[in-house]
Amino acid sequence: MRYLKHLVSALAFSLAAAAPAWAGERLNQILDTKVLRVGTPGDYRPFAIKTDAGYQGHDIDTIEAMAKELGVKIEYVPTTWPNLLKDLQANRFDVAVGGITRNVPRLRYAAMLPGYAPFGKVALVRTEDKAKFKTVQDLNQPGVRVIKNPGGTNEAFVLQNLKAAQVSTHEKNAEIPALIASGKGDVMITETYEALHYSKADPRLTAAFIDAPLTPTNWLGFMLPAEDADYLRVMNFTWDLLDKRGALKAIDDKWLR
């Protein structure tokens, strides 16, 4: 009898040791604390913008809907474009949002949710100057003043394609359109939706290259750390669930139409 007890005990211990955990460490942390930490630069309309009242935009509505489905609250963590991936890797937040381009350099170190909001690189210029800019060569001239924000794919495009232009850097992306409108610069390289937003809000500005973007079509995506497969599985499930219910389309219609 004593032998059988030892045998049953050993067998139970072996089975428990061999059984997989119910969820990964990050997923457990989020569901146990009921807090999802969301990093965003908060400077990219219409996806995520920081206001006196908090954050608002397409990505904010989307991540709030996902958090509600998960049964958790959101804690917003400010970050910057140059530090976005570094902060994610340093575990400062669980997901990054705010108009983040899906690309191989990011996917090398992080995971991304399904793509949304197809776009291309375009130029925001003064309406009075729109006839001057028909090709990328028109932008890449010594007399053209290009203002870029640091750390993202817009800066990468400028540095690669507009080497002959007068390029300057402004830290706050959301302030650049006003600088262009007031004549302190000539061109801001951005993406389809941001350019359309500012051109609709200010008649002094025009979104150039909308019908023929400067780059092939790409998609935006939420960026997540890749170490917890269970967390990624649940986040992808939540995205898919909201998509099938029509919630994501409703958010698109609100912010991107």
Residues 227 and 189 in one domain: no
Mean pLDDT of 17-41: 84
The count of domains in the chain is 2
Residues 147 and 95 in one domain: no
Residues 109 and 127 in one domain: no
pLDDT of residue 17 exceeding 70 = no
CB < 8 Å & 24+ apart, contacts of 136-142? 136/161, 136/162, 136/214, 139/165, 139/187, 139/189, 140/164, 140/165, 141/165, 142/166
CA atoms of 102 and 160, how far apart (whole Å): 18
Residues 151 and 189 in one domain: yes
The mean-pLDDT minimum among 13-27, 83-97, 148-162 falls in 13-27
Q: What is the pLDDT of residue 131?
A: 96
Q: What is the pLDDT of residue 7?
A: 45
Give the SS3 label for residue 215.
coil
The mean-pLDDT minimum among 5-19, 118-132, 157-171 falls in 5-19
Domain that holds residue 136: 121-208
Residues 165 and 195 in one domain: yes
Q: Which amino acid is at 51?
A: T
User: At 69, which CATH number?
Assistant: 3.40.190.10
The pTM of this model reads: 0.82
Residues 56 and 183 in one domain: no
Q: What is the pLDDT of residue 214?
A: 97
CA atoms of 164 and 235, how far apart (whole Å): 43
pLDDT of residue 16 exceeding 70 = no
pLDDT of residue 254 exceeding 60 = yes
CA atoms of 151 and 39, how far apart (whole Å): 15
Confidence of residue 129 (pLDDT cuts 50, 70, 90): very high
Is 141 a domain residue? yes
Residues 104 and 151 in one domain: no
Residues 167 and 232 in one domain: no
In the numeric block, which tokens belong to residue 2? 């004593």
pLDDT in tens, 235-247: 999 999 999 999 9
Cα atoms found within 13 Å of the Cα of residue 29, Cβ hemisphere only: 10
Q: What is the pLDDT of residue 257?
A: 87
Mean pLDDT of 58-66: 98
Q: What is the pLDDT of residue 196?
A: 95
Q: What is the pLDDT of residue 14?
A: 45
Following CA atoms 74, 77, 83, 86 in sequence, which dihedral angle do they give, to the nearest 10 degrees? -60
DSSP state of 172: -
Look at residues 72, 71, 107 and name the one whose alpha carbon lies nearest to residue 88. Answer: 107
Is 9 a domain residue? no
Mean pLDDT of 144-165: 96
Residues 32 and 114 in one domain: yes
Mean pLDDT score across all residues of the chain: 92
